[in-house]
Amino acid sequence: MNYLIDFENVSANFHEMLGELTIQDKIYIFYTDKCQKISLDQLQAIALADWYLIKVCSGQNALDFQLSSYLGYLIAKEVGEKQGFTIVSNDYGYDFVVNFWRKMNITIKVKRDLPSKSKKSNKTTEFEEKFKQLFPDINQSTFEDIVKIVKGKNKKLCDIHNELVQTYGELGKKIYKFAKPHL
């Protein structure tokens, strides 16, 4: 497995998010001047795998773009090999990268730090999981916009339906049909 770590985003606990590593695993840690402290415990946790520190330029989303470019390089380099790719980040912007490669039959996973139960109820998490199974091409930002429409205060069902259809067209009808039992 190739792990690409967005160190700006998950620096404190990325090593806990990886799970069991093997000597075949490769870890690419992308960092900037803003975030370059790695602990000995973190290094010890990844010692079994091959790991590389990749310092990149900083700026708005700069690390994300450089990590995504490097991912493309690794995919091209390892064509024909049975290597997997996992981005370790809490940044939902990588969903676009995952969807892009999915269309080319390349599976990329994104591993995120699991939210605590105090942040999200089980009901919300279950709704989100089912939603993403039915609508895999909808990114996190769009999902959050849909939730705002669906969970809007003092809205009637017909208002929710109309806003979804007006905003998303035919897809809005399908989203409403899915969401209605959860309202």
pLDDT in tens, 99-124: 999 898 888 999 987 554 444 555 56
**Residue 13 φ/ψ, nearest 5 degrees:** -140, 25
- State which residues of the chain have pLDDT below 50: 116-119
Nearest Cα residue to 4 out of 40, 39, 49: 49
Q: DSSP label at 181?
A: G
pLDDT of residue 48: 87
* CB 42 within 8 Å of CB 5: no
Q: Which pair of tokens denotes residue 181?
A: 């039992």
Give the pLDDT of residue 52: 93
Sign of torsion, CA 169 99 67 125?
A: positive
